[in-house]
Amino acid sequence: MKITLVRNATLLVEYCGNRFLVDPVFAKKGARDPFPCDEHPYERNPIVDMPISVKEILKRTDAVILTHLHSDHFDAEAAERLPKDVDMFVQDEQDRRIVEDYGFKSVETLPLPRKYYGIELIKTPGRHGEEGMSKEALEELGNVCGVILHKPGNKKLYIAGDTVWYKGVADTLAEYQPDVIVLNAGANRLPEGRLVMDAEDVLAVHEACPDAVLIAVHMEAFNHRVLSRRELWEFAGEKGFRDKLLIPADGEGFTV
């Protein structure tokens, strides 16, 4: 398989002859207001430009996976530019209705009741907020999911989505034992608390699945970022798991 980071959580995944676009955000640099946060409150989003043109991305897309519909994972620009007949996979009926309201005609909820060209698409749970965040804040953030791609005889890919380390992730790792794991690892934070994995969470994933290759994304692209690529790389060196960690630059791809 080949996994290319476009920007933030937007990925191009080539898996068993199929090409999946994950969480597409096509907005130009600085097109949107900042998220409310303490770290970089005045930077407009996204804070970096697209390293790959939308035209090129569309050429490399057979189907789209949306882990959830927050604006740093699916935006109006992507809704406008994506072909309305592209196969779309979403986490639940609520998201399906929203995506269909944009005019998309082939939208299905995960998990799929059948294989997609021989590939299982398995929905996995996520918790979009750190322990101690209020119930009200978690409810406002809404549901999120991850997804596992698996075709027998091939490596198993787990895209964890917007989640912190918690029992749901630990149980997913124990049940499926993925070979490659994509983690949203920017420690992004709103005033209510941390939303996705930080360095300690990435270490916990490694310790739970020590043979897996980890790919850290969702970094240095939106203003509520906290953890930098360099900081995570240095942490991985201190903890001894650099040989299992990839941290792509925007536009960079890895064959794993």
pLDDT band with cut points at 50, 70 and 90 for residue 135: confident
C-alpha distances out from residue 206 to 122, 144, 214, 238, Å = 21, 22, 8, 14
Residue 166 has a pLDDT of 97
Domains and their CATH numbers in the chain = 2-248 (3.60.15.10)
Residue 102 has a pLDDT of 97
Per DSSP, the residues of the chain read -EEEEEETTEEEEEETTEEEEES---PPTT-BPPPS-SSSTTPPBSSS--SS-HHHHHHT-SEEE-S---TTTS-HHHHHHS-TTSEEEESSHHHHHHHHHTT-SEEEESSPSS-BTTBEEEEEE---S-TT--HHHHHHH---EEEEEE-TTS--EEE--S--SSHHHHHHHHHH--SEEEEE-S--EETTEE-S--HHHHHHHHHHSTTSEEEEES-SSSTT----HHHHHHHHHHHT-GGGEE-PPTT-EEE-
How large a percentage of the chain has pLDDT more than 70? 100
- Could you read off the pLDDT of 34-44 as tens digits, one per residue? 999 988 999 99
- Could you read off the pLDDT of 6-53 as tens digits, one per residue? 999 999 999 999 999 999 999 999 999 999 998 899 999 999 999 999
**Dihedral sign of CA atoms 129, 89, 160, 7 in order:** negative
Residue 15 has a pLDDT of 98
Residue 39 has a pLDDT of 84
Q: State how far Cα 231 lies from the chain centre.
A: 20
Q: What is the mean pLDDT of residues 161-171?
A: 98
* Mean pLDDT rounded to a whole number for the chain: 97
Q: What is the mean pLDDT of residues 185-201?
A: 96
Q: Does position 72 have pLDDT exceeding 90, yes or no?
A: yes
